């Protein structure tokens, strides 16, 4: 915070009494801001001021935990608005909507869809983490039945209920699964707060606009509830985007702690039925501050780019994404296909494997442990060398698993050819291309 | 962090050429010096019209319009002891490229210039002194507090105040230089912005020494957080030092041609 | 207590660059806020959408694209048809077949195609090359000459060929120049410096900062764009205030998710839908990161992204 020293100074008595051992209150405030001396050194500061300041030095956006067991998730806790500033902490999650207005066939179809899209990409499980259950005011029993059905799907739950009785009944069934009760608004928050607190679950808060949301959150915090999530969905797409950005920005830039909670963006209220538009918006809100994005469904077509995007955005800029070392047979390669080796940097893997696929030539694609660096960086750091490759061959028993004795190495490390030949006798070491884009032509022209 | 702000000092009535041009309201010498400074990379131009007790209002308005009309609304620091002239200058000032700077207020009889800046949504240079040079940093910080409180009372954003710790001449006050640097650090740690008349450091030194001394000082001061300075932008070595420092401090994005832009 | 937004309006703005002539002329850039932050200040020009048309034909495209261009036999005919695509603001003609390692279409033939396209449509035109530096420089120079007065944009001038491309297209023939920097922010700035030092007015320069399909290193694109916009707006860096044009389709239609057949990946479902979603998700991310224009291929992607822009603006 730019004005932290100044903020502390404003709370000092400004008498320059020197009792703290500093010549002026300003010098004192400055040292406190640096962490050089504790606030308590000033004998004239009241307990309320100290409490205010210690809260002011806590991170502005809270981490909220939802779900239980396999379906426990952390949301929020961000400290920056852009990933290059530091790193984003907790990735956004996705929800599929179910409604008590849907018939069993529809619900089964949607649940099957949720179950179907569940895969791994670079060590990360990709699936729809939440079911968001809408209450259509058609009877508490119907809703409880929906909750029971959803419980069997092994996902975290969001209960979209604004009726306290219905919420209570639903929570009796599912409170141990720690769902989000997304139902507090300006008129019902007192009752909903009671229901959520008794069940020990996170309470979702809505408002007709940001001022109303701000007031309701303020009132809930005053009542002692700081286990909240903010549903920033507005009447229009434009309004929702404005809400999501302003809530996060005002929290992180203006230190507005009232908005220091994760957000829910409900696309099913903004463009129901328009799957492509939901894809586009889910992309926007992945970048701009949606913590949970609720959609009509999540097909493979949507999941592949959206989860890929999310994985990109939430990588630590300091830590490259790595692919597991091993043999990746491509284009139907068997033990007679030649080998091609590269590093475990995810981007290298994707680009090179894409081009190999395009060549349609069977290749045993080998990924060696190179610390997640690109080819040249790994080579310069000694993580891609003749001995590291030899060690990899031994550990993975490449010679035992593959009969072909041709190994294509990246063109950028052509210098390693001789050393590899020494370390891997019997192998024909071929220098590949400098750039991935040249691979299809290279493989088509060659004969191994 | 924002880029370092250089305030070009070369339109100053202490120069005979400029004094003559102002007396006769002759644009040419003033425009020439303005262009030199802008081409050399100055962000703001200081316009010192001297005490200008009789014709300050008219002269400042003429100078402000002259410079802004000819140089795409270049932002200006209005520099005179004549308060009415500063106000008049602000009236005709175009803010497209930045707020006007009032140069300057102190904790003594020029403290009302803070009120003036506050009333006109301007930036103010606040000298951490009352009369003469402050004895030590305790005194500097006490003045700083006084100035800051005055500004905040009048509704100013603290970031619209540029605190000047008073750069001191080395030939005569060599033992006080580290104090000035420490003061910059203290002000910066409080989240305040700083400025100062950098050239004062090398006053009285041989001509070929001055760029070297000024460059060393500006680098050390920037390290401590100095956010702007009143300088001679035509000093190439100084400007190269500032541009390089902005790169190192990540205030400006590096490109191979960074010295040329 | 009412919540008050503290608007983040900058004292600097992105340059406005005009493309094309006549009624269909478009302007990109001009904003002084972050992408779609209309709650801070109105955005002068909405982001624009270009339709990519390759001179290599549509044989390898998905059914929806083939169907859209049914009956069109030439690039000019496809351009004419693409101009009717709902949501299209400009056309991006790509000389894919000019690659010396491929069909090696001659520069003269490329110029002929460019002229035919310009006669067939009054949409603003962008020309993309075959990624071979020498050949592209020749094509861009010749096309910029042949279409003088049409205010076209050539994508792109690179580190290796900016002198030829910027001097010919930008200076001699008065066209717009795209500076291409492949996700390298320092190079992006340096190219703008070099191109403007050649004498090309900055109002005639746009940036192609590079792109990546979602999941394929898009984080570098996002961070490059975030930092470029931050430098342009909060540091008033005139050498990064050029608007950003991002070719999206060339990246997204060549990744596995868009290419794999339904026989190979039965659980993934329709290849066409996968391709459209990859294009839509990547384009939406680019726009949210700061692209002032995106280049797309599939009519459904154009329709969706056009709707997204209208809804957000």
Q: A166: closest CA among A129, A138, A126?
A: A138
Where does the pLDDT of residue A267 fall: very low under 50, low under 70, confident under 90, or very high at 90 and above? very high
Give the mean pLDDT of C6-10: 89
Q: Do B191 and A24 touch (CB under 8 A)?
A: no
When pLDDT is cut at 50, 70 and 90, the band that residue C239 belongs to is very high
State how far Cα A370 lies from the chain centre.
25
Q: Torsions phi, psi of A408, nearest 5? A: -95, 125
pLDDT surpasses 60 at A138: yes
* Closest residue by Cα to residue B155 from B125, B191, B118, B123: B118
Neighbours of C103 (CB within 10 A): 14
CA atoms within 13 A of residue B79's CA, in its CB half-sphere: 21
- In this predicted structure, the answer to whether residue A1 has a pLDDT above a threshold of 50 is no
Q: What is the DSSP string of C30-84?
A: --SSSTT-TTTS--SS--EEEEEEETT-STTS-HHHHHHTTT--SHHHHHHHHTT
Using an 8 Å Cβ cutoff, are C309 and C88 in contact? Answer: no
Percent pLDDT > 90 in chain A is 72
Are B190 and A1 within 8 A, CB to CB?
no
Q: Which residues of A touch B (CB under 8 A)?
A: 1-6, 9, 14, 16, 23-27, 29-30, 33-34
Residues 6+ apart with CB under 8 A from A303: A117, A126, A128
Could you tell me how far CA C156 lies from the centroid of its own chain?
Answer: 10
| Euclidean distance between CA atoms A284 and A241, whole angstroms | 9
CB within 8 Å: B253 and C11: no
- Tokens at C154, concatenated: 């050539």
Residue A51 — very low, low, confident or very high, per pLDDT cuts 50/70/90? Answer: confident
Which of C227, C255, C256 is opposite residue A84, by nearest beta carbon? C227
Strand partners, C84: none
Q: Do B257 and C185 touch (CB under 8 A)?
A: no
Cα A251 from Cα A79, distance rounded (Å): 9
Task: Give per-residue pLDDT as tens, C143-176.
Answer: 999 999 999 999 989 999 999 999 999 999 999 9
The chain B residues in contact with chain A (CB within 8 A) are 138, 141-142, 144-145, 148-149, 158-159, 186, 189-192
Q: What is the ipTM of this complex?
A: 0.97
Neighbours of chain C (3+ CB pairs under 8 A): A, B
Domains and CATH numbers, chain B: 5-260 (3.20.20.20)
Percent pLDDT > 70 in chain C is 100
Q: The domain containing residue C201 runs over which residues?
A: 16-312
Q: Find chain B residues with C-beta within 8 A of C190's C-beta.
A: 255-257
Mean pLDDT of C170-190: 94
pLDDT, tens only, A70-86: 999 999 999 999 998 88
Give B100-134 pLDDT, tens digit per residue: 999 999 999 899 999 999 999 999 999 999 988 88
What pLDDT score was predicted for residue A2?
39
In chain B, what residues touch A9 (CB-CB under 8 Å)?
190
Measured in angstroms, the CA of A253 and the nearest CA of chain B are apart by: 14
- The CA distance from C52 to the nearest CA of chain A, in Å, is 19
Alpha-carbon gap: B123 to the closest alpha carbon of chain A (Å): 17
For residue C104, which phi and psi values (nearest 5 degrees)? 60, 45
Average pLDDT over residues B223-228: 96
pLDDT in tens, A316-339: 877 777 888 999 999 989 999 999
Decide if pLDDT at B155 tops 80: yes
- DSSP annotation string for A190-256: HHHHHHHHHHT-EEEE--SSHHHHHHHHHHHHHTT---EEEE---SSHHHHHHHHHHHHHHHHHH--
pLDDT band at A430 (very low <50, low <70, confident <90, very high): very high
* Sign of the torsion formed by the C-alpha atoms of B115, B116, B117 and B121: positive
Neighbours of chain A (3+ CB pairs under 8 A): B, C
Q: Is residue C91 part of a domain?
A: yes
pLDDT at B53: 84
Give the closest of B3, B256, B260 to C235, CB-based: B3
Q: Is the pLDDT of residue C273 over 50?
A: yes
> A1 contacts in B (CB within 8 Å)?
191
Residue of A nearest to B187 (CA): A30
Q: What is the mean pLDDT of residues A206-235?
A: 97
Closest in C11, C194, C237 to B253, CB measured: C237
Strand partners, B103: B79, B125
CA of A257 vs chain C CAs: smallest distance (Å): 12
At residue B122, the 3 state secondary structure works out as coil
Closest residue to A3, CB basis, from B138, B186, B191: B191
Could you tell me which residues are beta bridge partners of residue B123? B101
Q: Specify whether the CB–CB gap between A247 and A259 falls below 8 A.
A: yes
**What's the total number of domains in chain C?**
1
Stronger pLDDT, A185 or A376, i.e. the higher one = A185
Assigned architecture for domain A326-445: 3-Layer(aba) Sandwich (3.40)
Read off the pLDDT of each residue in B139-156 and give the average, rounded to a whole number: 88
- Domain residues of chain A, as ranges? 4-56, 63-313, 326-445
DSSP per position, chain C:
----------S--PPEEEES-GGG-EEEE--SSSTT-TTTS--SS--EEEEEEETT-STTS-HHHHHHTTT--SHHHHHHHHTTSTT--EEEEE-GGG-TTTT---HHHHHHHHHHHHHH--S-EEEE--S-HHHHHHHHHHHHHHTTTS--EEEEE-TTTHHHHIIIIIIIS--EEEEE-SS-HHHHHHHHHHHHHTT--GGGEEEE-----TTSSHHHHHHHHHHHHHHHHHS--GGG-S-BEEE-HHHHTTSHHHHS-TTT-GGG--HHHHHHHHHHHHHHHHHHHT-SEEEE--HHHHHHHHHHHHHH-
* Cβ neighbours for B160, distance < 8 A, ≥ 6 positions apart: B99, B117, B122, B123, B124, B151
Q: What distance in Å separates the CA atoms of residue B101 and residue B167, rounded to the nearest whole number?
A: 19
Most A CBs within 10 Å, among B139, B190, B227, B253, to test the A interface: B190
Whether residue C186 and residue B257 make contact (CB cut-off 8 A), yes or no, is no
Asked if pLDDT for residue C274 goes beyond 60, the answer is yes
Q: Hey, what CATH topology would domain A63-313 get?
A: TIM Barrel (3.20.20)
Which of C172, C149, C173, C153 lies closest to C21 in space, CA to CA?
C149
Residue B197 DSSP code: B
Rounded Cα distance, C77 and C117, in Å: 8
A50: pLDDT strictly greater than 80: no
On whether residue C3 sits in a domain, the answer given is: no
| Angle, helix B83-91 to helix B112-119, in steps of 10 degrees | 10
What distances in angstroms separate CA A311 from CA A128, A160, A374, B176, C216, one per listed residue?
Answer: 14, 28, 18, 55, 10
pLDDT computed for residue B1 by the predictor: 61
Query: If we measure between CA atoms, which residue out of A121, A86, A93, A126 comes closest to residue A321?
Result: A121
Q: How far apart are CA C96 and CA C111, in angstroms?
A: 14
Q: Virtual CA dihedral for A401, A407, A412, A417, nearest 10 degrees?
A: 120
- CATH topology (fold) of A4-56: 3-methyladenine DNA Glycosylase II; Chain A, domain 3 (1.10.15)
How many Å apart are CA C192 and CA C184, to the nearest integer? 13
A320: distance to nearest CA of chain C, Å?
A: 10
| B253 with C197: Cβ contact below 8 A | no
Cα C79 to Cα B243, C155, C301: the distances in Å are 48, 18, 17
Quote the pLDDT of residue A57: 67
CATH number of the domain where residue C105 is located = 3.20.20.20
Angle B135-B139-B144 from CA coordinates, rounded to 5°: 135
| C interface with B, Cβ–Cβ below 8 Å | 11, 185-187, 189-190, 192-194, 197, 227, 231, 234-240
pLDDT digits (tens, 9 = 90+) for A300-309: 999 999 999 9
Cα–Cα distance for residue pair B247/C168, rounded to 1 Å: 33
Window from A22-26, A240-244, B189-193 with minimum mean pLDDT = A22-26
Considering the domain boundaries, does residue C213 fall inside one?
yes
Q: Per the CB < 8 Å rule, is A281 touching C284? A: yes
Distance (Å, whole) CA C310 – CA C313: 5
- pLDDT of residue B242 exceeding 90, the answer is yes
Neighbours of A141 (CB within 10 A): 11
Mean pLDDT computed over every residue of chain A: 92
> Quick one: pLDDT at residue A4?
66
- Report the chain A residue with the minimal C-alpha distance to residue B192: A3
What Rg, from alpha-carbon coordinates, does chain B have? Answer: 17
Q: How far is CA A55 from CA A34, A59, A80, B193, C151, in A?
A: 16, 8, 18, 26, 58
> Which chain C residues have a beta carbon less than 8 Å from that of B260?
193, 197
Are the beta carbons of C284 and A284 separated by less than 8 Å?
Answer: yes
- Chain A nearest-CA residue for C265: A300
Min Cα separation B134/chain C (Å): 34
DSSP letter string, A290-347: -SEEEES---HHHHHHHHHHHHHHTS-TTS--BPPPEEEEETT--TTSPEEEEE-BHH
The pLDDT value recorded for residue A134 is: 97
Whether C6 contacts chain A with CB within 8 A: yes
Task: Taking residues B238-250, report their average pLDDT.
Answer: 95
Average pLDDT over residues A399-417: 93
Q: pTM above 0.80?
A: yes
Q: Does C100 touch chain A (CB under 8 A)?
A: no
Q: Is the pLDDT of residue B63 over 60?
A: yes
Q: What is residue A159's predicted lDDT score, i.e. its pLDDT?
A: 98
Mean pLDDT of chain B: 93
Residues of chain C in contact with residue B254, where contact means CB-CB under 8 angstroms, are 186, 189
Cross-strand partners of C169: none
Rounded distance between C-alpha atoms, residue B65 and residue B69, angstroms: 6
Instruction: Please give the interface size between B and C, counted as residue pairs whose CB atoms are below 8 Å apart.
Output: 39
Residue C99 lies in a domain: yes
HEC states along C16-44? EEEECCHHHCEEEECCCCCCCCCCCCCCC
């Amino acid at each position: 915070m730019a004005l932290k020293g100044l903020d502390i100074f404003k709370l000092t008595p400004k008498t320059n009494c020197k009792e703290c051992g500093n010549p002026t209150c300003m010098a004192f405030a400055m040292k406190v801001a640096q962490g050089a001396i504790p606030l308590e050194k000033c004998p004239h500061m009241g307990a309320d001021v100290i409490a205010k300041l210690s809260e002011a030095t806590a991170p502005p956006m809270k981490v909220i935990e939802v779900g239980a067991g396999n379906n426990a998730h952390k949301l929020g806790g961000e400290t920056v608005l852009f990933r290059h500033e530091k790193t984003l902490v907790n990735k956004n999650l996705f929800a599929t909507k179910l409604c008590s207005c849907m018939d069993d066939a529809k619900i089964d179809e949607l649940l099957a869809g949720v179950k179907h899209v569940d895969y791994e990409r670079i060590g990360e499980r990709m699936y729809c983490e939440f079911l968001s259950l809408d209450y259509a005011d058609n009877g508490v029993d119907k809703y409880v039945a929906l909750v029971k059905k959803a419980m069997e799907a092994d996902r975290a739950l969001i209960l979209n209920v604004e009726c306290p009785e219905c919420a209570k009944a639903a929570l009796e069934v599912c409170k141990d699964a720690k769902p989000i009760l997304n139902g507090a608004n300006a008129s019902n928050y007192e009752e909903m707060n009671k229901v959520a607190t008794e069940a020990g679950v996170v309470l979702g808060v809505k408002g007709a606009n940001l001022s109303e949301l701000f007031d309701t959150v303020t009132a809930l915090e005053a009542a002692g509830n700081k286990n909240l999530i903010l549903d920033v969905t507005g009447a229009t797409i434009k309004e929702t985007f404005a809400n999501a950005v302003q809530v996060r920005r005002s929290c992180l830039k203006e230190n507005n702690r009232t908005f220091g909670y994760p957000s829910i963006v409900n696309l099913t209220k903004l463009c129901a039925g328009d799957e492509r538009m939901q894809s586009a918006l889910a992309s926007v809100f992945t970048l701009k501050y949606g913590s949970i994005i609720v959609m009509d469904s999540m097909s493979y077509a949507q999941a592949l780019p959206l989860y890929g995007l999310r994985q990109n955005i939430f990588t630590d800029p300091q830590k490259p994404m790595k692919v597991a070392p091993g043999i990746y047979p491509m284009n139907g390669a068997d033990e007679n296909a030649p080998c091609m080796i590269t590093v475990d940097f995810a981007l290298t893997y994707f680009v090179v494997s894409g081009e190999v696929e395009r060549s349609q030539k069977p290749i045993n694609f080998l990924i060696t442990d190179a610390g997640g660096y690109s080819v040249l960086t790994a080579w310069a750091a000694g993580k891609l060398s003749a001995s590291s490759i030899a060690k990899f061959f031994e550990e993975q028993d490449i010679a035992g698993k593959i009969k072909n004795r041709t190994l294509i190495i990246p063109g950028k490390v052509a210098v390693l050819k001789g050393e590899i030949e020494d370390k891997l006798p019997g192998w024909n070491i071929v220098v590949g291309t400098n750039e991935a884009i040249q691979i299809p032509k290279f493989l088509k022209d060659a004969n191994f | 962090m924002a880029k370092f702000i250089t305030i070009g000092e070369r339109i100053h009535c202490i120069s005979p050429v400029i004094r003559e041009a102002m007396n006769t309201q002759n644009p040419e010498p003033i425009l020439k010096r303005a262009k030199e400074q802008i081409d050399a990379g100055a962000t703001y131009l200081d316009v010192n019209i001297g005490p200008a007790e009789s014709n300050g209002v008219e002269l400042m308005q003429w100078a402000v319009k002259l410079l802004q009309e000819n140089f795409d609304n270049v932002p200006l620091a209005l520099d005179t002891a004549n308060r009415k002239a500063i106000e008049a200058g602000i009236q005709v000032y175009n803010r497209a490229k930045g707020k006007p700077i009032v140069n300057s207020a102190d904790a003594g009889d020029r403290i009302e210039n803070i009120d003036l800046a506050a009333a006109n949504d301007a930036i103010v240079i606040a000298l951490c002194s009352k009369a003469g040079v402050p004895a030590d940093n305790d005194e500097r910080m006490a003045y700083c507090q006084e100035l800051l409180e005055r500004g905040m009372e009048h509704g100013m954003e603290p970031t619209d105040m540029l605190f000047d710790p008073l750069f001191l001449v080395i030939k005569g006050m060599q033992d006080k230089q580290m104090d000035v640097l420490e003061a910059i650090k203290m002000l910066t740690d409080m989240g305040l912005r700083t400025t100062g008349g950098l050239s004062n450091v090398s006053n009285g030194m041989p001509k070929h020494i001055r760029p070297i001394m000024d460059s060393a000082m500006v680098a050390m001061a920037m390290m401590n957080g100095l956010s702007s300075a009143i300088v001679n932008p035509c000093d190439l070595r100084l400007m190269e030092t500032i541009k390089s420092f902005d790169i190192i401090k990540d205030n400006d994005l590096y490109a191979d041609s960074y010295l040329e832009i | 207590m009412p919540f008050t937004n503290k608007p983040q309006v900058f004292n600097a703005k992105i340059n406005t660059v005009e493309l094309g002539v006549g009624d269909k002329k478009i302007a990109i850039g001009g904003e002084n806020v972050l992408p779609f932050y209309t709650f801070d200040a109105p955005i002068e020009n909405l982001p624009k959408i270009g339709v990519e048309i390759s001179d290599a034909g549509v044989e390898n495209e998905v059914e929806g694209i083939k169907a859209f261009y049914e009956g069109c036999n030439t690039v000019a005919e496809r351009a004419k048809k693409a101009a009717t695509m709902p949501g299209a603001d400009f056309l991006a003609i790509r000389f894919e077949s000019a690659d010396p390692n491929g069909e090696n279409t001659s520069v003269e033939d490329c110029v002929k195609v460019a002229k035919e396209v310009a006669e067939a449509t009054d949409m603003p035109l962008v020309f993309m090359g075959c990624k071979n530096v020498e050949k592209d420089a020749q094509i861009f120079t010749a096309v910029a000459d042949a279409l003088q007065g049409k205010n076209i944009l050539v994508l792109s001038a690179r580190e290796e060929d900016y002198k030829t491309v910027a001097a010919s297209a930008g200076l001699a023939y008065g066209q717009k120049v795209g500076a291409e920097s492949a996700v390298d922010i320092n190079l992006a700035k340096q190219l703008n410096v070099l191109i403007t030092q050649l004498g090309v007015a900055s109002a005639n320069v746009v940036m192609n900062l590079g792109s990546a399909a979602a999941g394929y290193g898009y984080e570098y694109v996002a961070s490059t764009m975030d930092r470029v916009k931050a430098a342009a707006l909060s540091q008033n860096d005139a050498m990064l205030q050029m608007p950003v044009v991002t070719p999206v389709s060339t990246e997204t239609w060549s990744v596995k998710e868009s290419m794999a057949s339904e026989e190979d990946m039965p659980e993934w479902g329709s290849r066409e839908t996968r391709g459209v979603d990859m294009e839509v998700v990547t384009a939406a991310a680019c726009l949210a990161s700061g692209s002032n224009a995106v280049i797309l291929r599939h009519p459904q992607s154009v329709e969706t992204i056009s709707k997204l822009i209208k809804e957000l603006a």
